[in-house]
Amino acid sequence: MTVRVDLPGRAYDIEIGEGLLDRAGTFLTSHLRRPKVAVVTDANVAARHWPAFRESLTRDGIESEVLVLPAGEGTKDWTHLVRTVEWLLAQKVERRDLVVALGGGVIGDLVGFASAILRRGVRFVQVPTTLLAQVDSSVGGKTGINTAQGKNLVGAFHQPVLVLADTALLRTLPRRDYLSGYGEVVKYGLLGDAAFFDWLETSAPAILAQDPAALDRIVRRSCEMKAEIVMRDETEEGDRALLNLGHTFAHALEAATGYSDRLLHGEAVAIGLALAFDLSARLGLTAQEDPSRVRAHLRAMGMKAALADIPGDLPDAEGLLALMAQDKKAVAGRLRFILARGIGRSFVADDVPTDAVIEVLRNG
Ligand code: NAD
Ligand code: ZN
């Protein structure tokens, strides 16, 4: 199935389905001006999926060169950006050529950024291989790297010309990464589609079993919602901020745990979603039982749902609040949260009272 991201002059399709990579040539051909692509991936993905992808390209008469980078967040840095750009130049990639990012959010963000700056912008295709990348990072054109000053502080808006989300690739994903990506799926239901959240609740067993029809639906609905928001507000002047539901808390928790294996991004988001509902309930915006409903679903999925679920020590409530104030989304030092007036009804709230946030952090 296809979800269209209809941006003026930069429209593209997100193709979603089981086994799409075996037919990659069918989708790529119309974007190719010569039958050759430069593929960048990471070592984990290369070991599992590159041989089949290369074979399918060859079958369709498309030549390919590949750069295999180390796996992990550490690859989203200046060193690997330089390495990628230099490699693409050495491959004589020109503006008419196509770069393919085959991997999770790390590869997608890095290779998207490399494509944005190479020759002032070359076209690139996202082939997301993690659930997080299929439902979130491969769509919407945010690309970038981390620096010593913080995460995602250097980057560019650069939309792909195509996203190929093959849900079969998720079978090789470690369980923990799969569930972490699922945190972003829950986010879409909570931020804008109560019926989707209802369906997630009743479909937990099928989602846990990675049932193909369930996977199709969660990737499609997530991409539709992200596409719709990005079409309204590509560069985050307004509504795109809704995609940050749970993220003000999540970024503080990730900072507190050193962006390490202690807490993956989607795990932090899941806890952040519960805390955003705690805060909304405390401010009388959403029903008192909504936070427990959010936590019950996360627990049914075997996910972390509260601060106490994070291994090791955390800063106290004041310490976490200080980390939030440093977040790049804090506008002029004021705390911005995405809150909810019920499940599926989120909105941007500036100037949230600090004492309510502290209470939530003490009890969450
Ligand atoms: P990731 O790319 O590091 O992938 C997670 C792990 O899974 C890695 O070890 C990877 O090698 C491995 N892997 C990937 N696909 C696999 C597969 N099919 N089978 C087995 N192993 C596989 O991490 P991620 O969670 O995909 O992405 C996180 C990154 O995404 C962060 O840097 C975050 O900032 C970024 N992000 C960007 C956006 C955006 O809009 N651009 C949105 C959300 C997150
Ligand atoms: Zn996120």
| Confidence tier at 237 by pLDDT (50, 70, 90) | confident
Q: Are residues 105 and 234 in the same domain?
A: no
Residue range 11-34: average pLDDT?
Answer: 95
Task: Please check whether residues 275 and 136 belong to one and the same domain.
Answer: no
> Which are the contacts of 80, defined by CB distance < 8 A and separation ≥ 6?
69, 70, 110, 145
User: The CATH number of the domain where 152 resides is what?
Assistant: 3.40.50.1970
Question: Are residues 193 and 320 part of one domain?
Answer: yes
Do 240 and 125 lie in one domain? The reply is no
What is the ipTM, given to two decimal places? 0.99
CA dist 112 and 159 (Å) reads 8
Q: Could you confirm whether 265 is annotated as catalytic?
A: yes
CATH code for the domain in which residue 251 is found: 1.20.1090.10
- Is 142 assigned a catalytic role? yes
CB 35 within 8 A of CB 85: no
**Structure confidence at residue 308 (pLDDT):** 97
Q: 359: phi > 0 → left, psi -120 to 50 → alpha, else beta; which?
A: alpha
Whether ligand 1 lies within 6 angstroms of the CB of 247 is answered as no
Same domain, yes or no, for 158 and 212?
no
Same domain as 185, residue 119: no
Q: Is 105 touching ligand 1 by the criterion CB < 6 Å?
A: yes
Catalytic pick among 80, 240, 282, 304: 240
- Could you tell me if the CB of 251 is within 6 A of ligand 1? no
Is the predicted pLDDT of residue 328 greater than 80, yes or no? no
pLDDT at 102: 98
The pLDDT confidence band at residue 321, using thresholds 50, 70 and 90, is very high
Q: Which atom of ligand 1 is nearest to 49's Cα?
A: 18
Q: Which ligand is nearest to the CA of 133?
A: 1
278/252 Cα distance (integer angstroms):
16
| Domain edge (last residue) among 138, 172, 206 | 172
Structure confidence at residue 194 (pLDDT): 98
Residue 128 alpha carbon, nearest atom of ligand 1: 15
Average pLDDT over residues 202-226: 98
Question: Can 240 be counted among the known catalytic residues?
Answer: yes
Clarify whether residues 94 and 234 are in a common domain.
no
Q: Indicate if 147 and 215 belong to the same structural domain.
A: no
Residue 331 has pLDDT above 90, yes or no: no
Q: Quick one: 309 and 339 in the same domain? A: yes
- Say whether both 164 and 180 belong to one domain: no
Q: pLDDT exceeding 90 applies to what percent of the chain?
A: 92
Q: What residue numbers does the annotated binding site for Zn(2+) cover?
A: 184, 247, 265
Please tell me the predicted confidence (pLDDT) of residue 335: 81
User: Residue 325 has what pLDDT?
Assistant: 83
226 lines ligand 1 (CB under 6 A): no
> Which two tokens mark 348?
């941007």
Average pLDDT, the chain: 95
Mean pLDDT of 161-187: 98
Q: DSSP secondary structure string, 165-192?
A: EEGGGGGGS-HHHHHHHHHHHHHHHHHH
The closest-lying atom of ligand 1 relative to the alpha carbon of residue 142 is 41
> Measuring from atom 26 of ligand 1, which residue has the nearest CA?
104
Where a domain ends, among 149, 172, 195?
172
- Identify the band that residue 364 occupies on the pLDDT scale cut at 50, 70 and 90: confident
User: The domain containing residue 136 runs over which residues?
Assistant: 2-172
Q: pLDDT, tens digit, for every residue of 75-109?
A: 999 999 999 999 999 999 998 899 999 999 999 99
- In this model, does residue 246 exceed pLDDT 90? yes
164 in helix, strand or coil? strand
Number of domains, the chain: 2
- Residue 240 Cβ < 6 Å to ligand 1: no
Interatomic CA distance for residues 147 and 152, integer angstroms: 7
Whether 169 lines ligand 1, by a CB cut-off of 6 Å, is: yes
Looking at the fold, whether 70 and 54 belong to one and the same domain comes out as: yes
Domain end residue (candidates: 148, 172, 196): 172
130 CA distance to ligand 1 centroid (A)? Answer: 6
- Do 182 and 297 have their domain in common? yes
CA dihedral 57, 60, 62, 65 (to 10 degrees): 20
pTM beyond 0.90: yes
For ligand 1, atom 17, name the residue with the nearest CA. 173
Structure tokens at 229: 């928001």
